[in-house]
Structure 1
């Protein structure tokens, strides 16, 4: 008689688990959300000293660059990615990579939270010779500074800066690719883990930085770039800069933030430090053709010459896992940031079949025990 409650408990657990993994099948179209065709298409918050250190570090080079000086590397024949040394050449967890939607692991983790992304303040837009970067968030009031947490991250990450990657060709703009297809533009929101005192310290840790990548496609709406257009026209030449007031970085976030890819990687510029937790949003955001042309009008280190490319070639995966976080998990209660991963086979139906088989076995087993118990009790 005591087997029946246990039996129903097991049935409840298995049915619930089956529903969780079954939801992954519903996301097949989401996972395969390919780029649009071109036609359709702490630093510590309480320390001003640390804030200034990070601010100055940002100004020396594009993106989160560390040891190399800003003018010793680039994207030209004489100083392009094939000439970059150190980790760039010998690292095993380098970025960017190609995201293969047929080889993803489903990550059972919390939602990624973007805090203060609706706040506004003054930022600096600068042409550093490798592109344009928007920085100055460390000068905002601590209670207003944008940051992220959750989504499998093990702490609070403060926004340092963001920047763009593009080429002169619609087909090859983004650094990361989805099934070997590029988007015209890729935005990188660079965050540093709050517990590290300096950017140098953060670059020495595998979880020092958290970069959120957002793809852009050519569309008929360009609100995310509207407040940058005038500023971009003022920073055409290298080392030129301008201030933009009342800027809200949240305009660069897609409407849906719950679906993303996750992997461990590196900076995509020298010294290619392997200190980045990458989050690539599945949903892209639009950019107008004229806004893209404004980006492409930016000049590189050669005076009067447009920066025709500022993206690094794809790097080998070297056995790393690429995880996929689905919005279907929002319906489930997750008690911690720990990650529970199941690797799909095909579209994930294999796991459902196995669970159904296991469910049938458990049903038969406990039915046998229950009836056996009743039989011997009667006798």
Structure 2
């Protein structure tokens, strides 16, 4: 079924009538796919792999990034030519083109991936495309097209660098609104100090759910303050009654025989 036809008659989201449990009606891969994401990572069942490399990132000066409320999350648009992701489980160079987040309405849930059945309060994704393809649009449905850095978030201390985004979210309160950041922003400063990670072949966690993502999920969460997370919860979806944008996460999917590898320094 053509995506433009689907988008015309089905606006996916996270509500009772258009949320993850209904996505399979229009995106059959949600149920029939063999490498869907997110997943629950059971640490005792992962395989430590000495062939994996550390993750190496560079995001350039980070000037004049555009922040957007997509109605499903906030999204920060990166300058791909200034960015580079290499190492880890990846072959070749990947370029970052956007980052966004998923979060709950209150502490205790909100992340998409879970660790040993434990959910975190939010999860940040930095999305990259394989440089063998000319642009993200060409890469998005290819098996090796995308690589996503997943950063788990728990409530705790204020994160100084995330404040660049947190204090700008008031400027994109409504769905469809955009804002140019007034300060430079470096996504690598959000990565945890401990760079151990899990990696597995997966998919986009939102429609069209293409199975094109190499996931690199850091083992150690970062902390954001209650106030910083609350700024995300204040965003609205653009749907009826301007509902707050919360609980915008897909629950874990079945592993279906995949191997989760672990990098440990």
Q: Do the two structures share a fold, i.e. TM-score over 0.5?
A: yes
8 Å contact 2:128–2:147 — kept in the other structure? Answer: yes
User: Could you say which residue in structure 1 is the equivalent of 2:173?
Assistant: 236
Specify which of 220, 243, 253 is matched with residue 305 of structure 1: 243
8 Å contact 1:98–1:180 — kept in the other structure? Answer: yes
User: Could you say which residue in structure 2 is the equivalent of 1:121?
Assistant: 63
8 Å contact 1:207–1:275 — kept in the other structure? Answer: yes
1:77 pairs with 2:16:
yes
Within 5 Å, which residues of 2 pair with 1:20-39? none
Deviation at 1:114, TM superposition (A): 0.9
8 Å contact 1:121–1:248 — kept in the other structure? Answer: no
1:260 pairs with 2:197:
yes
Q: Give the gaps of 5 or more residues in structure 2.
A: none
Q: CA RMSD in A?
A: 1.7
Deviation at 1:218, TM superposition (A): 1.2
User: Could you say which residue in structure 1 is the equivalent of 2:219?
Assistant: 282
User: Could you say which residue in structure 1 is the equivalent of 2:39?
Assistant: 97
More strand per residue: 2
8 Å contact 1:160–1:191 — kept in the other structure? Answer: yes
Higher deviation after alignment, 157-166 or 217-226:
217-226
Secondary structure at the counterpart of residue 213 of structure 1? strand
User: Could you say which residue in structure 2 is the equivalent of 1:135?
Assistant: 77
User: Could you say which residue in structure 1 is the equivalent of 2:233?
Assistant: 296
Secondary structure at the counterpart of residue 242 of structure 2? coil
How many residues align? The count is: 255
Alpha-carbon distance between aligned partners in 2 of 1:250 and 1:118, rounded to the nearest angstrom: 10
1:87 pairs with 2:24:
no
Alpha-carbon distance between aligned partners in 1 of 2:261 and 2:78, rounded to the nearest angstrom: 32
User: Could you say which residue in structure 2 is the equivalent of 1:164?
Assistant: 101
Specify which of 204, 210, 220 is matched with residue 141 of structure 2: 204
Write out per-residue CA displacement over residues 224-260 of structure 1, whole angstroms, 9 at most, x where no aligned residue: 3211122101111110110003222222111222x10
Secondary structure at the counterpart of residue 290 of structure 1? helix
Alpha-carbon distance between aligned partners in 2 of 1:119 and 1:255, rounded to the nearest angstrom: 21
Secondary structure at the counterpart of residue 102 of structure 1? helix
Structure with bigger gyration radius? 1
| TM-score of the two chains, using structure 1 as the length reference | 0.64
Deviation at 1:152, TM superposition (A): 2.1
8 Å contact 2:89–2:199 — kept in the other structure? Answer: no
Q: Give the gaps of 5 or more residues in structure 1.
A: 1-65, 328-379
Alpha-carbon distance between aligned partners in 2 of 1:261 and 1:89, rounded to the nearest angstrom: 23
| TM-score of the two chains, using structure 2 as the length reference | 0.91
Deviation at 1:118, TM superposition (A): 5.8
Deviation at 1:105, TM superposition (A): 0.6
Alpha-carbon distance between aligned partners in 2 of 1:311 and 1:158, rounded to the nearest angstrom: 24
More helix per residue: 1
Deviation at 1:130, TM superposition (A): 0.4
Alpha-carbon distance between aligned partners in 2 of 1:301 and 1:87, rounded to the nearest angstrom: 27
